[in-house]
Amino acid sequence: MIRNLHKKHKTHSSKHLSQRNIMLLFVLPIVLTCIGLFFIFEASSVVAFRTLGSSFYFLKLQIIWFFIGVSAMVFFSLFDYKRLYYISLPALVSSIVLLVAVLIPGIGQTVGGARRWIDLGFFSIQPSEIVKLAVILYLSSWFIHKEKQRFLSFFGLLAVIISLIMLQPDMGTAIIVFSIFIIMYFLSGYKLQYLLLLIPASAVGFFILVTSSTYRMKRFLAYLNPDLDPLGITYHVKQILISLSSGGLFGRGLSASRQKYQFLPEAHTDSIFAIIGEEIGFIGAAFIISIYMLLLYKAYTVAKHAPDLFGKFLGGAIFSVLGLQIVINLGAIVGLIPLTGVPLPFISYGGSSLLVFFSLMGILANIGKRR
């Protein structure tokens, strides 16, 4: 009898813990997005007023995407993740079609020399962000089977998608998608020696991509020596470092940023964490990072205790892409890696990225409910 009571208590505690984990998977992304909304307004209000006539332009768009993203998260949390197996192939094909469409003049929208967006009138979508979700769904479905000679098919699919992304060009997203492929293959545990073939191939590919583009070469040189040309190729890096260093321990204070006055490029998108560090300092920035760490821990817990192989692949991929994108963005901000144009999940401005990550959190919550 005592043993049965103990077993019943353990089951109840486990269920309570699972419900708390699922609740945090909803709450933490919303908290991060609300923080992001405030700093998007802080970082974009000046440039939005000067160029578009409204200080609230970017904030309004991000709020709309926020509600769309939360709706997607709720939907995927209720939609049985096992059924995603049946829509993974259509999702992949659709995302590849969008990657091709964005390269067609008249369909793809060119901003800053890159053709990455499709203008739908009242908003734009970025196919290279959507392909992250599609690749995770498709590879998770693919790797639960053990078909023969799949490495060649795997490598062919990888080459096609990376090539389409680089034609935009978008090296940051290409690195993320390439990493998703490698992580998924590693999680499958199937003939891992094949991955060794990709190490020299990826190194050669990276060298060719950097040296074949003047813009990418300048960014790489700026990473190697931030003082090389403070008013030219290293201007962006120097402004980020100025913004972070001026924040100190406690920051200048909310709304007190000086770099937002069009000194810092991409202040509301890829470089938003520099504005955060400037206004709320090291303590505030560390608090936001701690929220990310808690979210990553909960994602890892769900992936570890997934009830089936499909859930483990999905959970592992979602945990990996979330952590990877956080590390790449923050690493670039503090100068550990070159600037790659990767947004900070939930905080940087960008509707497509916000929608994709909210959807991934919904899938993760759905897996957690069935642990």
- Residues making up the chain, counted from first to last: 371
The secondary structure element, H or E, covering residue 109 is strand 108-111
**Which residue from 290, 283, 278, 270 is spatially nearest to 332, judged by alpha carbons?**
270
Sequence-separated (6 or more) residues with CB below 8 Å from residue 102: 108, 115, 116, 117, 118, 127, 128, 168
Q: Where are the alpha helices (DSSP H) in 84-225?
A: 84-101, 127-142, 150-166, 171-188, 193-211, 214-224
pLDDT tens-digit map of 81-102: 899 999 999 999 999 999 888 8
pLDDT at 229 over 70: no
- The overall average pLDDT reported for the chain is 83
Sequence-separated (6 or more) residues with CB below 8 Å from residue 104: none
Is the Cβ–Cβ distance between 91 and 133 less than 8 Å?
A: yes
Is the Cβ–Cβ distance between 245 and 285 less than 8 Å?
A: no
pLDDT value at position 10? 47
Amino acid at 115: R
**Which residue from 291, 286, 262 is spatially nearest to 334, judged by alpha carbons?**
286
The secondary structure element, H or E, covering residue 116 is strand 114-119
Break the chain into its structural domains and give their ranges.
2-369
Ranking 5-9, 212-216, 281-285 by mean pLDDT, the lowest is 5-9
pLDDT value at position 256? 77
Give the range with max mean pLDDT: 2-16, 107-121, 178-192.
178-192
What percentage of the chain exceeds 70 in pLDDT? 87
- Tell me phi and psi for residue 279, to 5 degrees: -85, -35
pLDDT value at position 230? 65
The residue-averaged pLDDT of 235-258 equals: 83
pLDDT at 7 over 70: no
Q: For the purposes of burial, counting CB atoms within 10 Å of the CB of 196, is it exposed (0-12), middle (13-18) or buried (19 or more)?
A: exposed
pLDDT at 6 over 70: no
- Tell me phi and psi for residue 112, to 5 degrees: 65, 30
pLDDT tens-digit map of 155-185: 888 888 988 888 887 788 888 998 888 888 8
Ranking 5-19, 118-132, 166-180, 220-234 by mean pLDDT, the lowest is 5-19
At 1, the pLDDT band (50, 70, 90 cuts) reads very low
Long-range contacts of 299-307 (CB under 8 A, 24+ apart): 299/25, 299/364, 301/21, 301/368, 302/21, 302/25, 302/364, 302/365, 302/367, 302/368, 302/371, 303/364, 303/367, 305/368, 305/371, 306/367, 306/371, 307/367, 307/370, 307/371
pLDDT value at position 2? 45
pLDDT at 68 over 50: yes
Is the Cβ–Cβ distance between 310 and 81 less than 8 Å?
A: yes
Cα separation, 162 vs 178, whole angstroms: 7
The residue-averaged pLDDT of 206-230 equals: 71
Ranking 14-23, 136-145, 229-238 by mean pLDDT, the lowest is 14-23
The residue-averaged pLDDT of 61-75 equals: 94
